[in-house]
Structures are given as structure tokens and as C-alpha cells.
Structure 1
Amino acid sequence: MIQSKFLVVLMSVLLLCGSMGAQDVSIDKRMKEADPKNIGTRVVNKFIVTPHTRFGNPRAEKAPNYITYPDACAWLGALWFSKTIQDKDMQRKLKERFEPLFTTEKHLMPRMNHVDHNVVGAVPLEIYMQKLGDKKYYDLGMKYADSQWVVPADAKPEQKAYADQGYSWQTRVWIDDMFMITTIQSQAYLATGNRKYIDRAAAEMVMYLEKIQRPNGLFYHAPTAPFFWARGNGWMAAGMSRLLSVLPEDNPDRPIIMKAYQKMMNTLLENQDADGMWHQLIDEPASYKETSGTAMFTYAMLVGVKRGWLDKKSYEPAAMKGWLALISYLNADDELTNVCEGTNIKNDKNHYMTRKQITGDLHAHAPLLWCATELLTK
């Protein structure tokens, strides 16, 4: 059942938001339906039987050429969740799903040449840290972490320039990066205890924040696309909250990241819809309600409330409203609906307003599992 510390808040939010979802459903039933253990179990079991996807979409016309980052992020979330609920069988199945990537599916492991590729290394490191896999998992994961700072001979001049400043040669200054880079480096730190991994992840985050965070705490999709796209901002929100969860208290960059995180959370709180959702464009109520961004923002708030970084009175109800709203989009096939399709950068507001909404896309399933884990973790 749901952690007792959230139980009272969940009940009060349900009473206040009784109009959300089916109106004839009792509060008791809604409480059971909102149980993160039940929700997470359904989504993990769905992931286990879903073939590898092409950029998160289980209905994509083409098969994937390699394991893409939405799969890796969902896999990582599934592992965190299964460990939290101590489901040995679930953990075993998640490990067994990876094992062919050393043999018959080895060709699906991505090259170590891009932030979206290298984050895949977080999965074998988690399997190793959970004592599910042997040293080959550690070795594989560490190759992805280390190669992110080893400049290849064919690196472009701008990549070498970032490396000369102590940053990853894979730096792009895209908002997605601040989950991808910080996650693999955080995992390497947790696996080794070596401060260089977490310290360089923090320094990378500060550089990104200085370059692209807007005065209101949010982030444009790109300088050439001045729109507050939800999922892009979600990667930043999740990246900062996860990094701060792992980052030692004495890291000199921690206060800068914390201030940026709190500024972002404040603006997100102001833009949360009455039913708990966030929109495809955060500051545009006419855009559709979108589940991947909502899941990431909810996760970031759950992390901050639990660790005392955010005002509990303001943010705990908001986080619970986000959770309740999010799971109302989980269908009978254990798939979230209303997930924005992959979105390239374009200086056109209509480009974001009209993006297709996909069902079952792992871009949303991954952060839903992060949320369920946070709700169940003491």
C-alpha cells in the first residue's frame, strides 16, 4: 500500500479533486487505483514483454537499429522499482532481458559516441550494483561512462573545445543532455565511489544552467526554438533532481544547482493545471495535456519534497495531484496515452502544438516508474 507519509495528502487531494477522472468512482477505490506498487508493477510487466523499441514508440514501423535512450531510461526505472519493492522475480526478468545484449543481440548495443547512446550504460551498472549480474555488467557500464570524457581522434573542433575546458566531448548544450550525461556519470560514481564522476557531472550541469536557463527558471527547447516544451524541460527537472540526490553535500557546485532547481520548480508549480497535469507547452494552456512532461515534473517535485528542498505545504499536494492525474491516463493495456512524439527543434510554435500523441511510448513510462519508486521509497 502507499507509504503512510503520503497517505493523508493523497486522501485530501482526492477529496479536493473529486471531479478528476470518473466521477462515480469512490474515494476508496481511487486510493487503491493510485497505489504506486500496483501501478509500477503493471508498467514494469508491460516493459518486460515489450520488444526493444525505436526511440520509445512500441508501434514504430521500423525495428530499432540499437537500444535507444527511452528504453534505457525505462529499464533503469524498472530496475529501481523492482529493487524498491524487493521483487526478486521481476529483477531476474529485467536482468535476463539484458543478457542477450552480450551475445545474440550484441549488435544492438549503441556506439559510445553520443549522449543519447552513452546513457544506456546506466542499465548494466544498475544490474551490477543490484548484484544481479557479474563484472561484465560493470565493465560494460563503465566503458560508457569513461568514453564520455575520452576525446576520439575524429572529434569535431567544438567537441574538442568543450573537452579542453574539462567538459564532455559529447556536450551539445541541449536540454535532454542534462539527464543523459548526469545519469550515466552518477551511476559510475555510485558503482565506484570515485568522486571524479559525480563532480564532473555537476560541473557540466552548472555550465548548461549558466548557458540556457531562462530568468523564469525554465528552458527553451533551443535558442532557435524559444518555446517551453514540456518533455525537454522534464529532462532538466529530472536531471537536476536525480543529480542532487546523488551529489555529495560538500560539492561546490551543489548550491548553484539547488538554486536553479528550486527556481524551476517554482515556475512549474505556477503552471500546473487545476487537475494536476502540465501542458505540451508549459505556459500555453491551449496546448494539449502531456504525460511524459507531467511525469518528469511530478518526479522532480516528489524528490524535492521528500528531501526537504521544497516547501512541503505547497509542493506535496502538487506532486500528489500530478501522480493522480498521470495515472488517469494509464489505459487497460497498461500504457500511458497522450505522450508527445519525438520532437526535433523548430522555430515554429505550431510545430509543438500539433505534435502527435502516442500511446505506450517509453518517454512517459520511464518517469512514471521513477515516480512510483519515489512514492514507495522511505
Structure 2
Amino acid sequence: MLPCFANGQSINNKTQIVKTLELANHYFMNKWQDVSKIIYVPSKHKSWPSHIWTRAVYYEGLMAFNQIDPKDEYIQYAMDWGQAHDWNLRDGIKTRNADNQCAGQTYIDLALLKKDTSFMSNIKASIDHMLTTDKIDDWSWIDAIQMGMPIFARLGNITGNQAYYNRMWEMYDYTRSKLNGGGLYDTKSHLWWRDKDFMPPYKEPNGKDCYWSRGNGWVAAALVRVLDGLPKSTPHYDDYMQDYKDMMHAILIYQDKGGYWNVSMADPTHFGGKELTGTALFTYAMAWGVNNGILKKKTFKKPIAKAWAMLYSCVHPNGFLGNVQGTGKEPKDSQPVGYDHVPDFEDFGLGCFLLAGSEVYKL
């Protein structure tokens, strides 16, 4: 057996990485054998259909995992999910909400895999409907960039229609640089404020800006998922790439010596400690950059290794993932976070974990 890092798992041990991902994934698949089952959260006294964004992010991770460990059961599990919802979106094809559209990422993956464009007809209709208007301010919170932006890129890649690329840039640039008078991207720190409520003068208890780790992780993942397969001749390709590289270097200084990123990146005393989702998304984004020759292995391999060791430490013997901050939009939400804490939704944390592990495996 290859050597492991302290209390963690070596990024060199590909067999163990797959086994860890399998353990976590099988825990979830066994718990949610009925892919159409309504998601009920007792603490919120509310139910959601199973194609909301939290579940859609899980399937993003499952499709990535299937690339390194192909299994018919994974594809069938995803197919059953799409069919259970008639390949449709929450609130239908006229929805402009990126959270509702997120399921379309997996629908498109399956349409290409199975060579059946009917799987992606509804998500395409939803995006096409958006193209009929001049409205570009839908992504008013940075999570939405991950939920919706990769779909525009994929449709542009598949159809060759530049309109998808053009609108993708208009919407991204509005959120990045124009929303609320200046945009949600801090060009000095190369990090993002979650939405207009967290732009200056808002401060964390230590006086620093509020950079929520998972929110920034969503943007990092979005840029990866857009750039992966995007032709270099695409308008603004270089802008996306620059933002990606700037972010990757920016997050390095905020990584704790324990390998994780605090929920409040610039204020480790504000609900500080291990948190899986933001750490997993950063790990995914950094590993992808190294794997594609964009980031220097010499600079990023150690931070990735430390992060993966930390992520591994969150996995229970039965596959349950601890240290997951549940839904919310800032550091204080869904607290406390701990190894034995059960989040309100278990699915999206696993999706982030599978994305991270699938890229770490390729290192």
C-alpha cells in the first residue's frame, strides 16, 4: 500500500481513491434507491422534487466519477432520474432560474452518451427561451454561475451556435463586473462576494471582506466546466482562463495548514474549521488545472494533496460524509458543521466530493 499523509489518503494511491469514492457513492445510492422520491427536510418542514440543484450537483459528480470508474449502474441511476422527471426542469422550460436549470448539465451528458437528443430538448428550450430576450441579470448570486453557465458552453459546443457563447459572456460579465454598480468579483483579491448583500461595506467580524468558500468554489467549478472542451477560439476564452488562473492562485493563501478552507475564507475565527464542500470544489478546480497543464504541478500538488487528505478524513466507515455545510449563502448558515453533523441535504456535498476525487485520481 502506498504511503498516506497524516490521517489521510495519498493522492498517489489511485485504487484507494476509487474505493473511497465508491464507498461514499454507494452509501447515497442505497439510501436513495428511488430516484424520484421527494426530498423532505424536517428542519425546514418543506419538500422539494428530486431534480432541484442539490441533486443535480450530485449527478454532475456521478458523471465525473463514471469517467474514471465506468459502471452501468451509475449511468442507469442517472438515466432513471432523468426519465422520472421526463427530462424536464423544476418550473418547466420557461424558468430562468439557474438552480432549476442545473439538472440540464447531466441531461446533456446523457444525451451525448446515449446519442438521444430528446434528453436535452427541454434544457435547450429553456436556454433558447432566454436568448429571445435582452435580459442578462439572472445570475444575481454567484452559485448560479455554476448551476447555469456550463449549459450555455455545452450547447454552444454541440450546436456551433455563437449565440450561446455570446449570451454566456454577457451574463457572466454582468454578474462579474456590473451588478450593483461594480460586480461581485473583487479584482484586488480575485475572489467573489456571494451576492450584493456581501459587497463592501459589509465586513466579517475580523474586519475583512466576506468571501464564502463554497460560493467561490461554485465559481471555480463553473470556470472549469466551461473551459473544459471550450474551443480556444471562442470569444472571451482568454478572459475566463485569466479569471480561473487568478482565482486558483488567490485561494492558496487562504488554505489552512489542515488542508481545508474555512467557510469564511478571510476570517478563520468566524465558524472556522473543517468544511467539505468549499474545499472539495477548490480541490476539483486545482486538480483540473494541473491535469490540463494550466497550473504548475510544483506549486499546486502539495495543496491538493493536503486538501484531499482532509476530504478523506470526512468520510465515515459507512460512506456518510461529515463536515458538510448544508444549504445557505454565508458562513453562519447551516451551522454547526462537524464530522457527525447531518446536513439538510446530503446530495450536493457528495457531488462536490466526487468531482474532487475524480480529478485527483487523474493526477
Shorter-chain TM-score tier: 0.7 to 0.9
* Aligned partner letter, 2:238: P
In structure 1, the partner of 2:173 is 206
Structure 2 CA distance for aligned equivalents of residues 56 and 126 of structure 1: 27
Q: Indicate if the aligned counterparts of 1:36 and 1:376 stay in contact, CA closer than 8 A.
A: yes
CA displacement, residues 60-86 of structure 1 (integer Å, 9 cap, x when unaligned): 653314621010111122123224322
Secondary structure of the 1:332 match is coil
Counterpart mapping for 1:1-378 below 5 A? 14=4, 17-18=5-6, 20=7, 35-49=16-30, 50=32, 61-65=45-49, 67-102=51-86, 109-111=90-92, 112-131=95-114, 134-151=116-133, 163=134, 167=136, 171-210=138-177, 211-214=183-186, 215-225=188-198, 226=202, 227-286=210-269, 287-344=272-329, 351=332, 354=335, 358-359=341-342, 361-377=346-362
- Which structure has more helix as a fraction of its residues? 1
Shift of the alpha carbon at 1:352? 5.2
Structure 2 CA distance for aligned equivalents of residues 56 and 116 of structure 1: 18
Which 4+ runs in 1 deviate beyond 6 A?
53-60
Secondary structure of the 1:265 match is helix
In structure 1, the partner of 2:207 is none
* Aligned partner letter, 1:333: N
CA displacement, residues 8-61 of structure 1 (integer Å, 9 cap, x when unaligned): xxx5xx4xx42x35xxxxx88x97697332222233333434256878979865
Structure 2 CA distance for aligned equivalents of residues 216 and 344 of structure 1: 20
Q: Indicate if the aligned counterparts of 2:39 and 2:49 stay in contact, CA closer than 8 A.
A: no
Structure 2 length as normaliser, TM-score? Answer: 0.81
Q: Indicate if the aligned counterparts of 2:276 and 2:323 stay in contact, CA closer than 8 A.
A: yes
Q: Indicate if the aligned counterparts of 1:179 and 1:238 stay in contact, CA closer than 8 A.
A: yes
Q: Which deviates further from its counterpart, 259-268 or 352-361?
A: 352-361
Secondary structure of the 2:140 match is coil
Structure 2 CA distance for aligned equivalents of residues 288 and 58 of structure 1: 26
Q: Indicate if the aligned counterparts of 2:212 and 2:264 stay in contact, CA closer than 8 A.
A: yes
Q: Indicate if the aligned counterparts of 2:36 and 2:49 stay in contact, CA closer than 8 A.
A: no
* Aligned partner letter, 2:324: V
Structure 1 length as normaliser, TM-score? Answer: 0.78
Structure 1 CA distance for aligned equivalents of residues 77 and 197 of structure 2: 43
Structure 1 CA distance for aligned equivalents of residues 82 and 353 of structure 2: 21
Secondary structure of the 1:75 match is helix
Structure 1 residue runs of 5 or longer lacking an equivalent are 2-6, 22-26, 152-162
Shift of the alpha carbon at 1:231? 0.9
Structure 2 CA distance for aligned equivalents of residues 75 and 248 of structure 1: 25
Q: Indicate if the aligned counterparts of 2:145 and 2:219 stay in contact, CA closer than 8 A.
A: yes
* Aligned partner letter, 1:295: A
Structure 1 CA distance for aligned equivalents of residues 73 and 67 of structure 2: 10
Q: Indicate if the aligned counterparts of 1:181 and 1:201 stay in contact, CA closer than 8 A.
A: no
Secondary structure of the 2:259 match is coil
CA RMSD of aligned residues (A): 3.2
Structure 2 CA distance for aligned equivalents of residues 273 and 149 of structure 1: 42
In structure 2, the partner of 1:156 is none
Shift of the alpha carbon at 1:205? 2.5
Shift of the alpha carbon at 1:251? 2.4
Shift of the alpha carbon at 1:228? 0.9
Name the CA shift for 1:371/1:54 in 2 (closer, same or farther; >3 Å).
farther
Q: Indicate if the aligned counterparts of 1:206 and 1:253 stay in contact, CA closer than 8 A.
A: no
Q: Indicate if the aligned counterparts of 1:129 and 1:191 stay in contact, CA closer than 8 A.
A: no
Structure 2 CA distance for aligned equivalents of residues 317 and 57 of structure 1: 38
Identity across matched positions, percent: 22
Secondary structure of the 1:246 match is coil
